[in-house]
Amino acid sequence: MSDMDLPTPDVPVDTVDPETLKSRIDAGEDVTLLDVRMESDYEEWHIEGETVESINVPYFEFLEDEIDDDVLAQIPDDREIVVLCAKGGSSEYVAAT
């Protein structure tokens, strides 16, 4: 399934461009990232930093009618999460979900 095949989110999602995210990280802001790329892509490279917490849960885990509790348990619910993917479609869908 490509980003083009994902359902359109039915709730608005705030977006942040890569330059702004990099500025936040460079400024030492605490950032929690939910990287929804495939595990192999995440293992190849992902964003790191002293103030960055990076979590990898591939987007297909969010395509089920009922998301598994184990998947949800990996995602903190007490702070802002920045969801990212390679092109933006998958992360927008997951953020809305």
Is 85 among the residues known to form the active site? yes
Dihedral (C-alpha) 62, 64, 68, 71: value to the nearest 10 degrees? -20
Please name which of 51, 46, 36 lies closest in space to residue 84, comparing C-alpha atoms. Answer: 36
Catalytic choice (85, 91, 93, 94): 85
Asked if residue 32 lies in contact with residue 49, where contact means CB atoms within 8 angstroms, the answer is no
Range of the domain at 15: 3-96
Structural domains counted in the chain? 1
State the CATH number of the domain containing residue 60: 3.40.250.10
Per-residue pLDDT 10s for the chain (97 aa) are 444 566 666 788 899 999 999 999 999 999 999 999 999 999 999 999 999 999 999 999 998 778 889 989 999 999 999 999 999 889 999 998 8
Q: How far, in Å, are 39, 45, 50, 74, 89 from residue 22 at the CA level?
A: 22, 15, 13, 23, 20
Reported pTM:
0.87
| Torsional class of 21: left (φ above 0), alpha (ψ -120 to 50), beta (otherwise) | alpha
